Amino acid sequence: MPPAAAFHHRVFEGVVDRTSARQTFGLPVGGQNLQYAGTLGRPGTGYRTVTRLLIGGVTTFDWTYQGTGASMERTESLIRLSPNALTYLCLCVEGTTRIRHRGAELLLKPGRAALCTTANPLEALHSTQNRLLTIYVDAARLESQVPGVNRLLGSTLVVEGVGDLLAQHVLATMKVASGLDSAGLAAASEAVSDLLIGALSRRAQPVSPALEAQISAYIDSWLGDPELSVERIAAAHHISVRTLHRVFQQRGETVSTHIKNRRLDGCHADLLARPDLMIGAICAKWGITDIAHFSRQYKSRFGCTPTDTREQRLPHPRGQRVALEVAPASGPQA
């Protein structure tokens, strides 16, 4: 049974002093009390916070912070672990918020959101002028309605389409919520739920293995072209760049990282098998135009330099070095 719908609107303002710089407060969400703790700026910093909380089947937290410190002054908050997991969407409306969650650091600005879980702690740094919407829903309920949604946890999402409609609905609701009765607030809360599900459903759908295989084969066939780009790969498969990124996100890597590693693997194989080719020629064969940058990436991946790899297979003494042939420095680097 979801909690009765209710709306709370509170304004806090003052000046941070040394004895009360760290604030704590509880947030009633999903039948439990989430605990926040954080600072509102350095001692002497003035602050004003506006907290709007719509409690219902889905709970929405609208938080605005305004500080009087320098432009780079930060306020910091922490969501502690809760006994029952909730999934929540952090959506930036104004300012910037830097989030640390599930081992990732995400930068949110207007039009960007992050999907998080109370099963893991969250730490956030807010700019002095900041407004953040946070939408909480029971994790099991969301997973049943959006299968695969957990793949999106800890990642940055672009707010567009239904996501933009979700943000506008929440902001509009907060303006009129004080005049709504419990039934009206419950309806508004369920509308938030429907829009949230709509915004996440398409992103959570896995890409078909057939399409993934086609994309991988296409990339392999064009590795020698230094002009190979994310936009060209997406256009060749009649999908959006966002969908292409999702293909590789579900594999735990980015498109550019995949291309870079495939090129490095090709160079590594040729360094061992083709002693007749100079290192610069091998780089050119695999679409690499910046040999110095290539050498750093190669050492990071294989633990040795390209020349060290080549010398393992050549008959000359270890001290003899193989000259690098520099290819023209042009074209994008993956």
162-176 helix and 182-204 helix, angle to the nearest 10 degrees: 160
The predicted structure's pLDDT at residue 136: 94
Q: What is the pTM for the complete model shown?
A: 0.62
Domain ranges of the chain: 6-204, 209-311
Residue 331: pLDDT band (50, 70, 90) is very low
Tokens of 314: 């050549």
The pLDDT tens digits for 72-94 are 455 666 666 666 788 999 999 99
319 or 250: which leads in pLDDT: 250
DSSP string, 120-162: S-EEEEE-SEEEEEEEEEEHHHHHHHSTTGGGGBT-EEE--TH
What ranges in the chain are assigned the alpha helix state H? 139-145, 162-176, 182-204, 209-221, 230-236, 241-249, 255-273, 279-285, 291-302, 306-311
Query: What φ, ψ does residue 292 adopt, rounded to 5°?
Result: -60, -45
Query: Domain 209-311: what homologous superfamily?
Result: Homeodomain-like (1.10.10.60)
pLDDT surpasses 70 at 240:
yes
Domain 6-204 is found in CATH 3.30.70.2740? no
**130-146, pLDDT tens digit by residue?**
999 999 998 888 888 88
> What per-residue confidence (pLDDT) applies to 155?
80
Which pLDDT band holds residue 156 (cuts at 50, 70, 90)? confident
Checking if the pLDDT of 31 tops 80, the result is: no
Closest C-alpha to 86, from 163, 140, 33: 140
d(CA 57, CA 2): 5
Q: Which residues contact 174 (CB under 8 A, 6 or more apart)?
A: 52, 54, 60, 62
Q: State residue 324's pLDDT score.
A: 32
Q: How far apart are CA 276 and CA 279, in angstroms?
A: 10
